[in-house]
Structure 1
Amino acid sequence: MSTFKSRSAPASPRPSSDAIFATGLRKSYGDKTVLDGIGLSIPAGSVFALLGPNGAGKTTAVKILSTLITADGGQAQVAGHDIAAEPQKVRAAIGVTGQFSAVDGLITGEENMLLMAGLHHLSKREGRRIAAELLQRFDLVEAAKKPASTYSGGMKRRLDIATTLIGNPSIIFLDEPTTGLDPRSRHNMWGIIRELVSGGVTVFLTTQYLDEADELADRIAVLSNGKIAAEGSAEELKRLVPGGHVRLRFTDPAAYRSAAAALREVARNDEALTLHIPSDGSQRELRSLLDQLASTGIEADELTVHTPDLDDVFFALTGDVAHPAQTEENVR
């Protein structure tokens, strides 16, 4: 069984290793409840992804934790500081990149950087030094003197994050950072996020791209109807959804019939000479299946593991009517 946890309102004290800890966060707009008592526990130096359909409350959660708006109820600590009692200390420890580029298109990339350095009260000399380092790091040196309005979407996103890093934050909130980017720019952004985390930064990521969460996140929470429907690693969440199976393909009809007789709970396809056996894809279940085949002297020509992916999890937990997809891993 999966060890996933669904968190609605953790009651234990905030562990010292947590970069972000929240309990019972609530927020309503009129009669619309956006967050209904959610709880979060995010270790320092990790990537946490919050998934949910449009309007689920992902951006609201980011705005509360980054002190841009106040919660109606609940408590939270970010970087060890209470968001209600110590908002200035929280802001000094974090960086925020929203869904849409926040750079000023009328000035150059370098001027955007220096403007942010001034807002952080850095000296002109220190601001120029840090801006130059970050422009180099994010491959923006050649475009530094050009108006940001001339930048591509990927370049604007890189400049967004570069300006966010001016204050050397320990926690960064990335609210759908790859929305609207082409596949190459998305993958470049993933590399930047991995680099940030390898440097000790904690990343709180909201995204509608399930492959993005699967690729980057140490832990994922699915937000639905104002509550955390489930939380865990990508693999833990995938095990919540039924439908995983092992597919055995044979070229020898006799071997196919023998395997069908020897194995339990199989779905047969006599025309294709394939058998489908329910499985969660775990190493233990695969070993058991292979041992059963070996004990009877039967050998399949191909074994493929089909496991539910995050699309399946998302659709199952949020009630989405889209058709889930499945991934498959060729084991043999």
Structure 2
Amino acid sequence: MRYRFSTGLRHSDVTPASVFHARRRFLAGIGAGVGAGVLGLPGAGRAAPDITRLKPNTYEEITTYNNYYEFGTGKEDPAENAGAMQTDPWTVEIGGLVERPGAYGMDDILKGAPIEDRIYRFRCVEAWSMVIPWNGFQLSHLLDRVGVQPGAKYVAFETAVLPDVMPGVKRNVLEWPYREGLRLDEAMNPLTLLATGIYDKPIPNQNGAPLRLVVPWKYGFKSIKSIVRITLTDSQPQTSWNMSNPGEYGFYSNVNPEVDHPRWSQATERRIGGGFFAKREETQMFNGYGEEVADLYAGMDLKKFY
């Protein structure tokens, strides 16, 4: 694992994709021969060998096939339209049931944050998937720093609304700003990441610069982009897709092949980059991270709480 305490990446810091792949194949080999824990990712370690055996998608695939409706509903729209968004400076309002509320700049947010390399399988509700090498730090690190008050049960997030550079917010596709939320125990899980980069490069605008959420056992729309507000609350927050169509999108949005979307099956997925005729893969419960997160939902009816 790599820890970096700076607030940004220089060109000299960037690892070429070929080197990144080689390093990950090496780590995967160690994991297969010695045990999963050698990767040193708290909570993620047990799943790491399976994930690292999957070849990550290319940087081009990751950054040109996106859902980011603020920039358009087409998969290519974000890459075409997001370049004008300014992400420096950037401020995140953190409030609600926290000990130290306030407006935090990126320097404050990243101060002392242990930046890690993590390869996560990323699954979209539309039945496509990628494997993405993220750079980021655990959300729990930030929440610990601002101090979670005892009454907090949920974490709510909001995305920036910038009509001058986001053509999508002028359309009534969703109610803006984009909102998401997690239960506090989900937010504190070691797998839950605030991502700042991809392939050791600063995260591009179309992928959620400068700060986005990554929750690998949930469908991709839970991983809110370009965060400007984080609020700790004692009640379940509203989430954009659930507000838009509660019959299709639940609050939890866990990857569950046994719960179909009303308009398509979730039992299989198509890996982006494999070609149109590539064999579909069976969808794994909790996207393959069940060992790490299934206990969060013990006793819950996962078809009711979808």
TM over 0.5: no
Task: Please identify the structure whose Cα radius of gyration is greater.
Answer: 1
Structure richer in helix, relative to its length: 1
TM-score for both structures, normalised by structure 1: 0.24
TM-score for both structures, normalised by structure 2: 0.26
Structure richer in strand, relative to its length: 1
